[in-house]
Structure formats: C-alpha cells, structure tokens
Structure 1
Amino acid sequence: MFAPGHLGELTQLVPFEMVDAVLAETGGRERRLRDLPSRVVVYLLLAAGLFAELGYRQVWARPTSGLEEPGAVPSSSALAQARRRVGVAPLKALFELLAGPPAGAARWRGLLVCALDGTTMSVPDSEANLARYGHQSGSHGGSGYPLVRVLAVVACGTRALLAVTFGPFKTGEISYAPQVLGCLRAGMLLLGDRNFAVRHLVTAIAVTGADLLIRCKNSRASPRQARLPDGSFVSTMGGVTVRVIDAEIVVTLSGTSRHTGRYRLITTLTDHRRYPALDLVTLYHQRWEIETTYLELKSTTLGGRVLRSRTPQGVDQEIFALLTAYQALRLAMADAALARPDLPADRASFTIALHTARDQVIHAAGIIADSVIDLIGKIGRAVLADPLPARRVRASPRIVKRAISKHRAKGQVDRTNYRAAIAIDVLTDPDSTTAQSP
C-alpha cells in the first residue's frame, strides 16, 4: 500500500525518511494502517504539483502506472478525506526543509544575490475562498477569481526558493515582507523594487546582516552626507547608512527607437571601490529573475490554470505542495549544473526538467538511489543535453499577455520582442553624468 507513494527520481531529494519525519513532527501520521497511508497522500500532493492540469484521481494514475501491482484506485471522496486528514502542516514543514540556496550557487563578488517580490495566484470561486482571500476589484467589477497574494525570496541564477509566504490578497506586499526576511544572512544581497523602499524594511533587512540594493522613487528626498568619486553619495534611511545611486538608462531597440528611464537605487554596499555604482546598476537588472520564477510556476507548471481546492485549507496545502515540487526540481537542476561549471544556471531549461520529472513519475523510475550516487540523474542529463541558448539582450513592453476578456482590447499594442542595446549613465546631478557604460 506504500508503493504508490513516490515522486519518481525526485524521491531522492524528498526521501521517505524525510516525509515520515515531518508527518511525525506535525502529527500528520495515521493512527492505524490505512489503505491510503499519510506518506502516500503527501507524495500524491507533490505529484499534483507536477501534473497541475489533472484532478487528483488522474494524478493518482501517474505514479501507479509504472507499478507491477498498482492496486485499487481510491475514490474521489477517499482522496479528499485523506488530504484533509494530512492537513497543511506536513507540506509546510517539507517545503521549509528544502527551501534555501542549492550547493554551488553562484556568487557576485562573494555575495549570494537574491530578489524579493510578490505575485498572485487564482483559486476557485467558492464562498470559503472568497471570504478568506478576497478578489481584485476594478474595471471588471470584482468578477474575477479570488486571489492569493504570494511573496517570495528567490536566489538569482538558480531561481531556487529561499522563503515564501502567502495569504489574503487584500494584505499588501509590505505587510508580508517581514515574514520572509528570516532567510537572510550575512553574505547575501537582496534586490527589490520601489515597493520595498520603506524605512522599517530597510532597517529589518540590515538587522539580518544581509546587504540590500533597492530601487526607490526618483523624487525621494535623501540627505547628502558625502559625495563619492563614482557619482553616488552617502545618506541614511531608517537609521541605516546607505549609498544612493542616480542613473539614466537608455535602451535602443533594434537600432531605431530609443527609450530613456531614470533610476534611483539605494544600497548598504558603501564601499565604492569594491562595488562601483556602474556595476551595481548593471547588477540590479537581475531582479527580474524572480519574475521568471513566477513565470515557471504560474505559466509553465500551472499553465495559467486556477488552483484546484475549494477550501482555504486545501489551497494552503496545494500551494505548499506546488512550491515543494518546484524546489525539488530546482535542486535537481542545480546538482546537474555542478557537473558543467562552464554553463550558467540560467541556461538550464525548466520546461525540459519538468517534463523529464513527469516521465520519471509515470515510469516509477529512479525512486531508490543506487549504491553509486548519481547527482545528475536523468533529469540533469536531459537538461545538460539541451541547454537554452545564451541569453540575448532584449526588450518587450510590460503588458498583460493574457487578457481577462477573450475579445480584443481597444487600440493596438506592439507585442514584439526587440533586440536591445543598453547604455547606463551614473548621474552626479540631473543635468550631468560622470560614468558611462555601453
């Protein structure tokens, strides 16, 4: 009866002993031996994170299809009762065990670069979900699905999850942010957008020992205490000494049109010799790695679908299972990257890894490690055999890719991705520049 409880090759990263330990710790273990043991239910929930387009009975068919004796297929009500019995706590504990940067994660000048940002996930339009999470009001009259607000810290490059929190949509990202700062340590650099440039968060981040590089409003008043040779200046924010960098960025699209924007960044990296302003402005572009992470979760894995669960407890359980499966897949990709130090982490295809992991679940393959440990495995070999091309400098409009209505919106929108050339000027004042990088 334990045979259906596996995750294919990813079982080596989420082994039976780990699942049994979190079940015992959280009180999720069954009191008597059942046809659906709690361990099997946990793996079913994790597999559902890989097969987001399927109902739970169809998910059950995937890990059992490769077994010689798959056994009876449980009914939908039996699976629902088993999921309620296991609860949320074991999945939350499992994710927290896996969360963190993978071995060999790349550093920038000795710092692990990570990014903080939020997104939303749609859940079924039940009364319970609507009461718990709420939905977005606006031009469509609040007729959309209830939304869960998700906030995460992601390691740039590997896109592994370091910490995640989520809850009602009506609560803003600033209110959720303190819940994820516990993952920060000295030797880390946190990137964030203008939403997080608030005094109490800057103070809270500095207390962890991590450094920060956050964009703020260009009009924000910052007292100038000292001007530095690279064009930045020293100031204070929330009682923390910071450097302020003003820059102008010019993006030329395919050699024709030009777009100019102003950026003001604050950072606790005050050594202008070790961390020149120009290098920090360039590094800040990596903040978009977290947007790619959300794309992999919401588009590649979920396929833009609404989550399954019609109750808040089920939603919480499903999200933690989804995050755990994603993290296990990212760790498998990172293990493979250790064998190819010449291949940047962002050239590993998440889509290839996901489909290979699904195949291993269906074939019930690679569940138990051989006597010789294979860090790469079939998932890693598939990723290394077909890496993504080197990343090009491109620009595209920040627009809604999937409209709420199926009807064409008014007006014409240019959705073309253009090859781009980027020039950065570090400003000493609004009318002059001191450094330039093509």
Structure 2
Amino acid sequence: MVDEALEETGAVQQRLRKIPARVVVYLLLAAALFEDCGYLAVWRKLTAALEAIPVAKVTGTALWDARTRLGVRPMRALFDLLRGPATAIRTDGARFKGLLTVAIDGTYLDVPDSPLHRARLDKSTNQYATSGYPQICLATLVACGTRAVLDAAFGPRSSGESVHGKRLMRSLRAGMIVLLDRGFSGNTFLTAVAATEAAFLARVTAARKPPVLNRFDDGSYLSRFGGTEVRIIECEIAITTSQGRQTGLYRLATNLLDHHRYPASGLVSLYHERWEIESAYFAIKKSMLSRRVLRSRTWAGIAQEVYALLSAYQILRIAIADATEATPGVDPDRASF
C-alpha cells in the first residue's frame, strides 16, 4: 500500500538515496507510535533490529530533508487507501434499521508555538491575555461500530469544526445515518447532509424553538429547518458517573420522518452511539499522543504528522476489528486500544 501511494503521487525517488521515500513513510508511521521521541530517536527505534545489516548513518537534517522531499500527498494517499469502516458491515451493532451508523465531530490538536504557526493559526485569547499553543481543528467521520475512520479533514481552529466537517460530505451516502452534536446542527450543515441522501440524527440547542407542524403518536413532531423537513424528539437523558447522576433535556432532529419504522425511543437509544467518536478521539489524543504537542514547525510537516497519526490509528483499529471478529459475541468497542 505504501508503494501504491508513492507511485500514485509520483513520489518514488528518482535515484538511490540514503533514505528512500518508502522508508520516510515508515518513519512517519513509527513517529505516530513513539510520540515521546524526536525523529532521530524514532529512526533508532525503527532500525534497532537491523544490527546484522549495515544501516545508513543519518542526521536530523537528513531526516528533515527526506521528509521535505516526500511532501504531504503520499501520506494523504496512504490514509485514503486505509480509511473505511473496517469490518463494520459485518459487526453487530454497526447498523440501525439497515443504516450504517456513523458520527461526525471535531477536536483540537496542539502544534508548536512557532512564528509560522502563530501567523497561520493564531492562539486562544480571552479578555486578559493570549495563552496556550496554536491549534488545528480535526474533523472526522467515524463508523460507530468499530470506531474506524471513514474520512478526515483538518485546518485552522479559527475556521470552526462545522466548516471542516462540510468537507466530509464527500464520504456520506444513502444507507448511512450520521449522528451529530449541537455544533453541527445548523440549517446549512443539515441541508448539506440531507443532500448526500444520508440520514441524520442531530442534537439541537435548547435555545432553538422549531415550529410544530404535526404531532405523531410516539411523542415526536414534524417540523422544518430551512427547506428540510425534520422530526423533533424531546427526551430526558440521565448520565451516571462516579461523581453522581445528572439529568438533562435533549432535543434531537432527524430527517427520518416515518415514526412507525423509526420510533422515537429507538432513535433516542441510537444517539448514545455518538459517544463512540469521543472514544476514538480519546484513543488518538490520550493513548497515542499522550496529550503531547505535535512536532513539526511547518504546515506541511503538521499535515504529514496528522495523516500518519490517522493511518497508524486506522491500522490498529483494523487489527482490533479483525481480532474481535474471530471471537463470537465480542464487540470491537470492548477491545482495549
């Protein structure tokens, strides 16, 4: 797959080099697994088992030059080859009434506080000061049955997660139901989702007061967001943790208008699956990154890192799905990352 990505993007080296393009891809993937190391230390881990074979002596500058020659396109192409629902089509709980259950949400990753990143990404500010690291916004489309990534888009935090989320419409299609949090419940975003022929189930803000056009016997009612007809479901959800129990009122909107085939109670239960994308982000940001700042001080380097991180995550997710599939009755989301 690495060779295919390099060939597709015209990134295969034209002459024999100390660090061929294929090796640079593996270096970037290894860096996603050894996030606490600099690239020279990652190189030593990558080549540690090759004691019987002469290994090229490299410097930090040589690794940087090799990454610069490679560029971003091969890493994006590799991620495109890997992304998908893994075994979600065959996994119990991956579908709702025949619809593949997916979720879109955004998260934020810290990048080095360099002049270049500050100029492009800016930093968080409040009424007192500017603080923290510059950040990028990462929006992903995740298959809830396996937490595998179907697509991803990222860019400056200032653009907002719904802007980056719109780039994921290319991967939505009929036969899917996409779960959305309040940040993605605007009329424009929901209209764009509906245009892909995918179904949606979105939480809307409490401040929104949708008109009641018709009431159904399951407690939901027909309404309209812009030019899109929706059903509104109002429900009470209790969250119980070691800190206690908290109850909140949720208002959900869906373009599944048939209340007989898609009763309100079933949709309320389904919305709990949206938490799978939060668990996916926990695996990426805590298990893999350990909350660390990304390494690169250039935008191209950050893009390489993000695609390598997503590719490494996806490879592990595929392995988890394959392993759990071999054990009847085990759900992929019960497997330890």
The reply to whether TM is greater than 0.5 is yes
Aligned to 1:148: 136
Contact kept, 8 Å, 1:64 with 1:70, in 2: the verdict is: no
Partner SS, residue 234 of structure 2:
strand
How many residues get paired?
332
The reply to whether residue 36 of structure 1 matches residue 23 of structure 2 is no
Alignment partner of 2:178 out of 175, 190, 197: 190
Q: Give the superposition deviation at 1:225.
A: 2.1
Which amino acid counterpart does residue 142 of structure 2 have in structure 1?
A: V
Aligned to 1:430: none
Q: Give the superposition deviation at 1:140.
A: 6.5
The reply to whether residue 57 of structure 1 matches residue 40 of structure 2 is yes
CA distance in 2, matches of 1:38, 1:180: 29
User: What TM-score do you get using the length of structure 2 for normalisation?
Assistant: 0.94
Structure whose alpha-carbon radius of gyration is higher: 1
CA distance in 1, matches of 2:296, 2:239: 44
Cα–Cα, structure 1 residues 70 and 144, in superposed 2: closer, same or farther, change >3 Å?
farther
The reply to whether residue 339 of structure 1 matches residue 326 of structure 2 is yes
Alignment partner of 2:314 out of 324, 327, 331: 327
Aligned to 1:391: none
CA distance in 2, matches of 1:134, 1:118: 18
Aligned to 1:317: 304
Aligned to 2:68: 84
The reply to whether residue 175 of structure 1 matches residue 175 of structure 2 is no
Which amino acid counterpart does residue 60 of structure 1 have in structure 2?
A: W
Contact kept, 8 Å, 1:233 with 1:243, in 2: the verdict is: yes
CA distance in 2, matches of 1:52, 1:190: 32
The reply to whether residue 261 of structure 1 matches residue 248 of structure 2 is yes
CA distance in 2, matches of 1:302, 1:218: 34
Which amino acid counterpart does residue 97 of structure 1 have in structure 2?
A: L
Partner SS, residue 341 of structure 1:
coil
Partner SS, residue 71 of structure 1:
coil
Which amino acid counterpart does residue 96 of structure 1 have in structure 2?
A: D
Partner SS, residue 58 of structure 1:
helix
CA distance in 1, matches of 2:167, 2:127: 32
Contact kept, 8 Å, 2:18 with 2:56, in 1: the verdict is: no
Q: Give the superposition deviation at 1:249.
A: 2.6
Structure 2 gaps of 5+ residues are none
Q: Give the superposition deviation at 1:258.
A: 4.9
Paired residues for 1:13-162 under 5 Å: 18-67=1-50, 68-103=52-87, 104-105=90-91, 106-138=94-126, 141-162=129-150
Q: Give the superposition deviation at 1:288.
A: 1.4
Contact kept, 8 Å, 2:211 with 2:224, in 1: the verdict is: yes
Contact kept, 8 Å, 1:213 with 1:284, in 2: the verdict is: yes
State the Cα RMSD in Å: 1.7
CA distance in 2, matches of 1:347, 1:238: 40
Aligned to 1:291: 278
Aligned identity (percent) is: 50
Which amino acid counterpart does residue 59 of structure 1 have in structure 2?
A: V
Which amino acid counterpart does residue 99 of structure 2 have in structure 1?
A: L
Aligned to 2:263: 276
Cα–Cα, structure 1 residues 252 and 327, in superposed 2: closer, same or farther, change >3 Å?
closer
User: What TM-score do you get using the length of structure 1 for normalisation?
Assistant: 0.73
CA distance in 2, matches of 1:107, 1:153: 15
Partner SS, residue 203 of structure 2:
strand
CA distance in 1, matches of 2:328, 2:120: 46
Contact kept, 8 Å, 1:202 with 1:238, in 2: the verdict is: no
